Amino acid sequence: MSPEKLDLLQGTLDVMVLKTLAAMGPMHGYGIARRIEQVSGNEVLLNQGTIYASLVRIEQRGWILSSWGTSENNRKAKFYAITEAGRRQLSREAAYWERLTGVMDKVMAMERRQAEEGELA
């Protein structure tokens, strides 16, 4: 694991899991973990094992459901599916992230502009 990988912010993993399930349909834990790794271009620092704490947390909140099933290569695995409440939560979270990134972009931009103004003065 290279030190340059991104450390996950608290709570972001839950959103990633929800989004993955919303986009990909029912999946098992390993599948979700792999999918996140792939989508992030292997940029996030993810011990695959930590996905299970996240799964149980959001399942207890009623945002996903789980059931045992069989994988494509015939292994018994626990599959997770997003619920209606989960989708609502996801859209709330998505809106939040959009706002936050928007604000972050502006803040970062402001810093550059200020620095430029400082040089001019």
Partner 1 sequence: MSILRRYRERGRAFLSKAQLDAELEAEIAAHIDLATDENLRLGMTPAEARRQALISFGGMNMAKDQQREARGLMKLDILMQDLRYTVRSLGRDPGFTVVAVLILALGIGANVAVFSVVNTLLLRPLPFPNAEQLVWIAPPPSKCGMSCGTYSTDAYDTFRAQSRSYQDVTGYFAFSGPGNLRLSFGGAPIPATSIDVIQNFFQVLGVQPAMGRAFTPEDARNGAAPVILLSDAWWRRQFNADPAIVGKAFNMNGQLTTVIGVLPKSFDFGAVFSPGAKVDALTPLNLYGPPRDWGNIITMIGRMKPGVPVAQARAEAQFVAPQMCWNNKYAQSCGQYKDAVVPVGLKDYVSGKLRRSLFVLWCAVGGILLIACVNLSNLLLARAAARSKEFAMRGALGASRARIVAQLLTESLVLSTAGAALGLGFAFAVVGWLAHQGAVALPLLTTLHIDGAALGWTVLIAFLTALLFGLLPGLRMASGSLQESLKDSGSGAGQGRKHERLRSVLVVSEVALACVLLVGAGLLLRSFLKVLDVDMGFQPEHAAAVNVDYDDSAPTQLATIAKREVIFQQVLARVGAIPGIQAVGISDYLPLGQNRAWGTPFPKGVKRPDKMPAGPLVYVVTPGYIRAMGTRLRGGRDFTWDDKPTGENVVMIDEAFARFMANYANWPDGNPVGQIVDSNGSDLRIVGVVEDVHEESSEGETGWQIYYPATQASPSGAHLVIRTTLPPDTMAASVMGALRELNPKQTAAEFRPLQTFVDHANSPRRFFLLLVASFSVLGLLLAALGIYGVISYSVNQRTQEIGIRMALGATLGQVQWEVIGKTLKLALVGIALGTIASLLAARAIAALLFGTAPTDPAAFAGMIVLLGGVSLAAGWIPARRASRINPMVALRNN
Specify which residues 81 forms β-bridges with.
Answer: 65
Chain contacts with partner 1 (rule: CB under 8 A): 28-31, 33-34, 47-50, 52-54, 56-57, 60-63, 71, 73, 75-78, 85
- How many Å apart are CA 47 and CA 54, to the nearest integer? 12
CB of 85 to partner 1, least distance (A): 8
CB of 71 to partner 1, least distance (A): 6
Residue 64 token pair? 């996903």
- How many Å apart are CA 92 and CA 117, to the nearest integer? 37
CB of 46 to partner 1, least distance (A): 8
Of 19 and 51, the one with the shorter C-beta distance to partner 1 is: 51
